[in-house]
Amino acid sequence: MKTILYGWFGAAKEFFAILCKLYRRWRSRKNKGRVVATSNCVPIYNPAFVKPDPLIYDQYYLTSLGLAVTWDNPDIQLYLNGTPVSSSLLAPGTTYEVVAQIWNNSTDSPAVAMPVAFSFLEFGISTVSVPIGSTQVNLGVKGGPGCPAYATMPWTTPTTPGHYCIQVQLQPFADANFNNNLGQENTNVGTAASPAVFTFPLRNSTRRPQTYNFEVDAYIPLAPDSCGSGPNDAKARAAKLARNKRGLFPVPPGWQITITPNAATLLPNQSVPITVSATPPSGFTGGNQVLNIHAFYAGGIAGGVTLTVNVP
Amino acid sequence: MGFPPYKQYTTCIDADSFNKSSVYAQATLVAIGIVAPLAAFTALLAPWCLLTLIPVAAAAFVVGYCYWFLHQRLICLPPPSNSTLSGGSNQLAIGMVIDILPPSGNSFPDSIDTDYSFGLLVASNNPGDSQAMVEASLPYGFLVSEQPATHNIGMPYTGHPGTFKPTGQTAETLHCEFEGAGVYDLLLASSISLAVAIAAYMVCVLVPFPVGAILAAILALLSLLGLAIGAGVGANDSASPSDENPALGGELHPGDLLVVAGSWVYDSGHQPSGWNEIHPIKFCSPIGHWDGEWPPDINELETLWGIALGDATSTTVIELQKEPQNQWQVHPILDGCDPVIIV
Over residues B62-118, the pLDDT tens digits come to: 999 999 999 999 999 988 766 555 556 889 999 999 998 887 766 667 778 888 889
- Report CB contact under 8 Å: B335, A176: no
Q: What is the per-residue pLDDT across B122-145, written as a single tens digit (0 to 9) for each?
A: 999 999 999 999 999 999 999 999
| CB burial readout A134-157, b (16+ within 10 A) else e | eeebbbbbbbbebbbbebebebeb
Cis status, amide bond into B109, omega within 30 of 0 = yes
Nearest chain A residue to B329, by CA: A105
B233·A146 Cβ contact <8 A:
no
Q: Which of A28, A41, A46 has the CB atom closest to B253's CB atom? A: A41
Q: Which of B253, B323, B337 to probe the A interface (max A CBs under 10 A)?
A: B337
Q: A44 and B250 in contact by Cβ < 8 A?
A: yes
Interchain contact, A238 vs B335, CB within 8 Å: yes
Identify which of B251, B307, B324 has the shortest CB distance to residue A43.
Answer: B251
Would the CB atoms of B178 and A50 count as touching at under 8 Å? no
Q: Do A48 and B311 touch (CB under 8 A)?
A: no
Which chain A positions have a beta carbon within 8 Å of B3's beta carbon?
Answer: 48
User: Cα(first)–Cα(last) distance of chain A, in Å?
Assistant: 88
What is the maximum span of chain B, computed from C-alpha positions, in angstroms? 81
C-beta of residue A245 within 8 angstroms of C-beta of residue A66? yes
Question: What is the predicted pLDDT for the residue at A26?
Answer: 60
Taking CB atoms and an 8 Å limit, are A18 and B194 in contact across chains? no
Question: Contact B309/A48 with Cβ under 8 angstroms?
Answer: no
Q: With an 8 Å Cβ cutoff, is B225 touching chain A?
A: no
Task: Provide, as residue numbers in chain A, all residues whose Cβ is less than 8 Å from the Cβ of B252.
Answer: 41-42, 44
- Are A111 and A52 contacting, i.e. CB atoms less than 8 angstroms apart? yes
CB contact under 8 A, B192 and A51: no
Segment holding B317, helix H or strand E: helix B315-320
Q: Determine the distance from the C-alpha atom of residue B304 to the mean position of all C-alpha atoms in its chain, rounded to a whole number.
A: 27
Residue B126: per-residue pLDDT: 94
Distances (CA, A) of B292 to A247, B38, B105, B210, B288: 51, 64, 29, 75, 12
CA angle B320/B324/B327 to nearest 5° reads 85
Stretch (H or E) spanning A238: helix A234-242
pLDDT, position B83: 59
> Which among B198, B240, B334 is the nearest to A4, CB-wise?
B198
pLDDT for residue B148: 93
Model ipTM value: 0.85
| Cis ω for the linkage preceding B272 (within 30 of 0) | yes
How far A241 CA sits from the closest chain B CA (Å)? 6
Amino acid B121 reads: L
With a cut of 70, list the residues of chain B below it in pLDDT: 1-2, 4, 81-88, 105-108, 238-249, 341-343
Nearest in space to A57 (alpha carbons), one of A68, A46, A48: A68
Is this prediction's pTM over 0.90? Answer: no
Contact A47 B337 (CB under 8 A): no
Contacts of A43 in chain B (CB under 8 A): 102, 249-251
Q: Does B222 touch chain A (CB under 8 A)?
A: no
The whole-angstrom separation of Cα B103 and Cα B312 is 29
The pLDDT value recorded for residue A191 is 65
Nearest Cα to Cα of residue A113 among B307, B66, B15 = B307
The alpha carbon of residue B143 is apart from the nearest alpha carbon of chain A, in Å, by 20
Amino acid at A15: F
Contacts of A232 in chain B (CB under 8 A): 324, 327, 337
CB contacts < 8 Å between A and B, how many? 233
B 182-201 near A (Cβ less than 8 A) = 185, 187-189, 191-192, 194-195, 198
Determine which helix (DSSP H) or strand (DSSP E) holds B32, and give its type and residue range. Answer: helix B23-45
CB contacts, 8 Å: A105 with chain B:
328-329
In the predicted model, residues of chain A with pLDDT beneath 50 are 29-39
Burial B274-292 (b: 16+ CB within 10 A, else e): bbbbbbbbbbbbbbbebee
> In B14-160, which ranges are E strands?
74-76, 90-101, 116-122
Query: Are B330 and A62 within 8 A, CB to CB?
Result: yes
Q: Does B6 touch chain A (CB under 8 A)?
A: yes
Q: How far is B313 from chain A (nearest CA, A)?
A: 8
Chain B residue with Cα closest to A57: B331
Cα A266 to the center of its chain, rounded Å? 25
Q: Do A109 and B194 touch (CB under 8 A)?
A: no
End-to-end CA distance of chain B: 29
Q: Give the Cα separation of A59 and A123 in Å (integer).
A: 16
Tell me, what's the pLDDT at B240?
44
Cα–Cα dist B134/B143, whole Å: 10
Output the DSSP codes for B230-277: HHHHHHH----GGGT-TTS-EEE-TTEEEEEEEEEEEEGGGTT--EEE
Q: Which residues contact A143 (CB under 8 A, 6 or more apart)?
A: A107, B317, B320, B321, B323, B326
